Structure 1
Amino acid sequence: WHTRFNAPDSQDNTDVGFRAEASAKGSSFANFAYFGNYTSRIDGPGKVFDFSNVSDIVIDNIWNEHMVCLYWGANTDNITIKNSRIRNMFADGVNMTNGSTDNLVTNNEARATGDDSFALFSAIDAGGADMKNNVYENLTSILTWRAAGIAVYGGYDNTFRNIHIADTLVYSGITVSSLDFGYPMNGFGTEPTTIENVSIVRAGGHFWGSQTFPGIWLFSASKVFQGIRINNVDIVDPTYSGIMFQTNYVGGQPQFPIKDTVLSDISISGARKSGDAFDAKSGFGLWANEMPEAGQGPAVGEVTFNGLKFGDNAQDIKNTAPGFKININP
């Protein structure tokens, strides 16, 4: 790397990076490496690109290590992030939020992020409205040490495609969730959220006490959960389960059900019994979580599968949740 930005060696957790005004429209950042000095997570600072209310910017061929995030965008539109590598982070690799639309995240690899490697979060606390028309494609996420490889929280008309996820340590390979985390947030719209052409290998773990996580986690929570389309996915050797369905509860009552959710051409193989302290929560290809997790479960709602394949799982389907229905078509 002929151009390198280095945080000071004489201290830790230095907030270095780029912010941009709206007048920066049309700018590009390309062909450099950025080395931070973060040794712990601090929410707020530590983003290489900390953008809000800007548009039409290209980020291309960046190598980044030891920061909190590579990119955090609040109400940022027509942003392209491409050909970049993200290493050893303390939070998200890329997170678009607060009405960010028409963005393209393509041909990037994240290794060892401390939160979701690539995320969309439809919060509206800092301006903006609907999260829509974003494309995340040709991505690799490996060794995520906290949270998921891919995560989408609300929005509509967003597409995630051509993705490889492997070796997540404590969480799901993919999280699809309507949890608002206590922020003002829009849930999922009726127009689809599409996830397609994905391989998920050795994903899932346990976190938040005794909760286990799957290859794909579908979590209906504090906002509407609908319009989910997941196509052409191979889940191989998940740590605990292939796909888990779960619902958040408040005051002993479910918040929102899973609805209008269709998964097509899904293969789940190698979901084996874990043999550890969480063995009872393992070995399921599909699991409608009936467990009394704190503030969660049992799952509520309905999903439909078209072209579902199983192989070498301890139990292909576990659904004892009385309010959850799994429809399986050839």
Structure 2
Amino acid sequence: MTLPTGPPRGRLLRRGISASVSLALAVAGTAAAVVLSTAPAAQAAAVPAPSPIDVPGRGATVPFKEQEAEYAATNGSLIGPNRLYGTLPSEASGRQAVTLDAVGEYVEFTLTAPANAMSFRYSLPDNAAGTGRDATIDLRVNGTSLKSVPVTSKYGWYYGGYPFNNNPGDTNPHHFYDETRTMFGSTLAAGTKVRLQVSSTAASPTFTIDLADFEQVAAPIGKPSGALDVVSDFGADPSGAADSTAKIQAAVDAGRTQGKEVYIPQGTFQVRDHIIVDKVTLRGAGPWYSVLTGRDPSDRSKAVGVYGKYANAGGSSNVTLKDFAIMGDIRERVDNDQVNAIGGAMSNSVVDNVWMQHTKCGAWMDGPMDNFTIKNSRILDQTADGVNFHIGVTNSTVTNTFVRNTGDDGLAMWAENVPNVKNKFTFNTVILPILANNIVTYGGRDITISDNVMSDTITNGGGLHIANRYPGVNSGQGTAVSGTTTAARNTLIRAGNNDYNWRFGVGAIWFSGLNEPINATINITDSEVLDSSYAAIHLIEGATNGLHFNNVRIDGAGTYALQIQAPGTASFTNVTATHIAQSNPIHNCVGSGFQITQGAGNSGWYANPPACTGTWPDPVWTNGGVPGGPTDPPTDPPTDPPTDTGNLAQGRPVTESGHADVYGAANAVDGNPNTYWESTNNAFPGTVTVDLGASKAVKRVVLKLPPASAWTTRTQTLSVSGSTDNSSYSTLKASAGYTFNPASGNTATVTLDGTPTRYLRLTVTGNTGWPAAQLSELEAYTS
């Protein structure tokens, strides 16, 4: 859902955070870097950043183990961190990814648990016509090619203003990423190396890898006793060659009249219009095995979907949809088209373990309807909302569901003309809504939003939004926010972001009384707001009264802890804020129009007088260790901090000629002298290249080996060269022998003349202690 102005409604490491995550500030000169305080050093050139996966006690319990590409072994190029809207890293998980742009470049993951399947998130550049490109990437296991996996850009790359188009001639490119999945054919043991490698650049010049999810998929679920089979009983085609819409509909109708379950066996079934369900159970062999897909070849407003009858036709009830996937073919957003995976009205019904991908919305439910539940499901790569409870949806729930890369709100409730009452969004993980909010309720009475994880909002929205906003939401129809709204035990990470109508951005948690003031009880309790892109808490567009913040921890905000642009009332108890970018943590130009009542235990967020400025500060996005904001040039990686004191190489992107085992080049810039890079054995020369982010007058390079006495004295023969463009390199220090002696710290220093260089390269041609280059730290200084 979208409004015309303002925000729309509409050794590899695995990152994880506890339910109480701290962001520690590591100061390099004047630049502050937010890092996960308990995270070990990364093995690739990425900056450790809190992950939304596996937050104990919060979010969805997912069946996969996730690994970020930026922490994996790679000879590709790190992009990011960067939250600048319209750039490739801004839509990546954690705002970092790896780009592969040459044959042989790869990202290699090491399994942390047995797996027989993977999904991975990626981006290909669009083609000139805006119709997308198709390519393949080589999947290799322990160095041996297993298969070529098809990848495509046809489900991404939108342009222009809302409702967007596929015309690359327009501005505002976004929605860059997609996901695909594949099975290995056997179970791979923990420790197996799984590599995504470029075998050709003919179809796509680049492949950007964001992350991979590895899982152990259970065997197919057999047909329940007495169930009707859409293939053996009704002739549906599991090969996907023929249109099976009518045959599956006939099976569903028979299941309703006979009181029998309907079973979808293994296969891919062409479905080109809605399957209408009522008083029936439709179940499959599992979402990796039973797939409904398809779209009408001539009428593009018709596509695969499982729908209840609409309320004006009496609605549906007592429906169960379970254990299958709906994989659509929707490549654009046309709001009038009913091309959602699930829709209509379904009272007293359950959606359980359904995978929804490449449709307009995962589930757009039009009430009135009551007691509807979505659980244990995955919703990926939508052109609009993940879920929307629309018009008179009551006593309904989305729980334990994983949502990523929606084109609009992740999970939404919109009481347009009939009240939404007592609905719940609980224990969900909602990541990377490309537009609007992670979770929102537009109006609604006695709503609960609890135990969720929300992260990486892209633009025109925040993490959590509660609003009398969007058409039809008002007290005259009983659709406004009323009763008690409970938002408890939620974790928000890198939420809120730039709005291209509002220069000041949108807060991680924000409230709007645009249609009319909010007069309700809103309890925000026991929650964390981490590394917000702009303000942590934000009020705008009309009064919000009845806010109560209790036991809320704000750790990191790109601008303010509180941004108050509308009147209202709020109480704060045990609310703490740290690492706020502005020295004054509150922006408030409405003065006494916003009344604050303070209880005990508050710190870090209150100031009297607050800031009230005529201009808005650029946000400081610190998860990448580099201040950034809308005025910064959209370079990847972003430029260095404005000071050249300290080690310029630490944490910077790094490439290598190759490495042995798990001893990747990222170890040489991770600040940990006990980890090290070792080049491919018996393959001199070995090179390591660090991107300093901008040209620097480097005068000293300090090289280190691990300080342990087991590292006996050795001499390495090496030279240093530099480049401003990563193309033409000049010698900064001719080849010479440098001795590393554990008795003196296993350190060698190379002095340079200060020639400006951005790309600093070390070339090792010999080592008396081992048949490879070895280096635990490469440090660069301007003095």
Instruction: Please give the range of the TM-score, normalised by the shorter of the 2 chains.
Output: 0.7 to 0.9
Q: 2:484 aligns with which of 188, 192, 197?
A: 192
Name the CA shift for 1:10/1:99 in 2 (closer, same or farther; >3 Å).
closer
Q: Deviations over 1:265-312 (max 9, x none)?
A: 11112113xxxxxxxxxx1011102xxxxxxxxx11121111110111
Q: Between 158-167 and 319-328, report the one with greater CA deviation.
A: 319-328
Q: 2:551 aligns with which of 265, 270, 285?
A: 265
| Distance in 2 separating the partners of 1:93 and 1:234 | 23
The match for 1:4 is: 291
Name the CA shift for 1:183/1:194 in 2 (closer, same or farther; >3 Å).
closer
Q: CA deviation at 1:318?
A: 2.0
| Distance in 2 separating the partners of 1:312 and 1:23 | 51
| Distance in 1 separating the partners of 2:444 and 2:541 | 18
Q: Deviations over 1:1-28 (max 9, x none)?
A: 2210112496866532122234742121
Q: Deviations over 1:59-79 (max 9, x none)?
A: 110111111111112212111
| Distance in 1 separating the partners of 2:307 and 2:513 | 34
Name the CA shift for 1:51/1:244 in 2 (closer, same or farther; >3 Å).
same
The match for 2:396 is: 103
The match for 2:563 is: 287
Q: Deviations over 1:167-203 (max 9, x none)?
A: 11112011111013366752112x2011110110011
| Distance in 1 separating the partners of 2:436 and 2:301 | 21
| Distance in 1 separating the partners of 2:425 and 2:525 | 15
Q: Is the 8 A contact 2:525 2:549 kept in 1?
A: yes
Does residue 314 (structure 1) correspond to residue 581 (structure 2)? The answer is yes
Please give the secondary structure, in 2, of the residue aligned with 1:214. Answer: coil
Please give the secondary structure, in 2, of the residue aligned with 1:229. Answer: strand
Name the CA shift for 1:13/1:236 in 2 (closer, same or farther; >3 Å).
farther
The match for 1:140 is: 429
| Distance in 2 separating the partners of 1:197 and 1:89 | 27
Name the CA shift for 1:207/1:15 in 2 (closer, same or farther; >3 Å).
farther
| Distance in 2 separating the partners of 1:304 and 1:234 | 17
Please give the secondary structure, in 2, of the residue aligned with 1:284. Answer: coil
The match for 1:275 is: none
Name the CA shift for 1:43/1:116 in 2 (closer, same or farther; >3 Å).
same
- Cα-Cα RMSD: 1.9
| Distance in 2 separating the partners of 1:227 and 1:137 | 19
The match for 1:121 is: 414
The match for 1:92 is: 385
Q: CA deviation at 1:130?
A: 2.4
Name the CA shift for 1:183/1:311 in 2 (closer, same or farther; >3 Å).
closer
The match for 1:234 is: 528
The within-5 A match list for 1:38-53 is: 38-44=330-336, 45-52=338-345
The match for 2:303 is: 15
Q: Is the 8 A contact 2:430 2:438 kept in 1?
A: yes
Q: Is the 8 A contact 2:532 2:556 kept in 1?
A: yes
Does residue 247 (structure 1) correspond to residue 541 (structure 2)? The answer is yes
Q: Is the 8 A contact 1:172 1:214 kept in 2?
A: yes
| Distance in 1 separating the partners of 2:386 and 2:379 | 6
Structure 1 gap ranges (5+): 249-256, 273-282, 290-298
Q: Is the 8 A contact 1:13 1:37 kept in 2?
A: no
Q: How many residues align?
A: 297
Q: Is the 8 A contact 1:180 1:223 kept in 2?
A: no
Q: CA deviation at 1:328?
A: 2.4
Give the residue type in structure 2 aligned to 1:130.
P
Q: 2:511 aligns with which of 191, 214, 218?
A: 218
Does residue 175 (structure 1) correspond to residue 175 (structure 2)? The answer is no
Name the CA shift for 1:14/1:37 in 2 (closer, same or farther; >3 Å).
farther
Q: Is the 8 A contact 1:247 1:300 kept in 2?
A: no
Give the residue type in structure 2 aligned to 1:288.
I
Q: Deviations over 1:197-225 (max 9, x none)?
A: 01100111122423411111111121341
Q: Is the 8 A contact 1:9 1:37 kept in 2?
A: no
Give the residue type in structure 2 aligned to 1:327.
T
Does residue 158 (structure 1) correspond to residue 447 (structure 2)? The answer is yes
Q: Is the 8 A contact 1:14 1:36 kept in 2?
A: no
TM-score relative to the length of structure 2? 0.37
The match for 2:595 is: 325
Name the CA shift for 1:28/1:245 in 2 (closer, same or farther; >3 Å).
same
Give the residue type in structure 2 aligned to 1:270.
G
Larger Rg: 2
| Distance in 1 separating the partners of 2:416 and 2:528 | 30
The match for 2:352 is: 60
Please give the secondary structure, in 2, of the residue aligned with 1:262. Answer: strand
| Distance in 2 separating the partners of 1:136 and 1:176 | 13
Name the CA shift for 1:137/1:182 in 2 (closer, same or farther; >3 Å).
closer
Identity %: 28
Please give the secondary structure, in 1, of the residue aligned with 2:491. Answer: strand
Q: Between 219-228 and 175-184, report the one with greater CA deviation.
A: 175-184
Please give the secondary structure, in 2, of the residue aligned with 1:312. Answer: strand
Name the CA shift for 1:197/1:183 in 2 (closer, same or farther; >3 Å).
closer
Give the residue type in structure 1 aligned to 2:491.
S
Please give the secondary structure, in 1, of the residue aligned with 2:515. Answer: coil
Please give the secondary structure, in 2, of the residue aligned with 1:47. Answer: coil
Q: Between 239-248 and 317-326, report the one with greater CA deviation.
A: 317-326
TM-score relative to the length of structure 1? 0.85
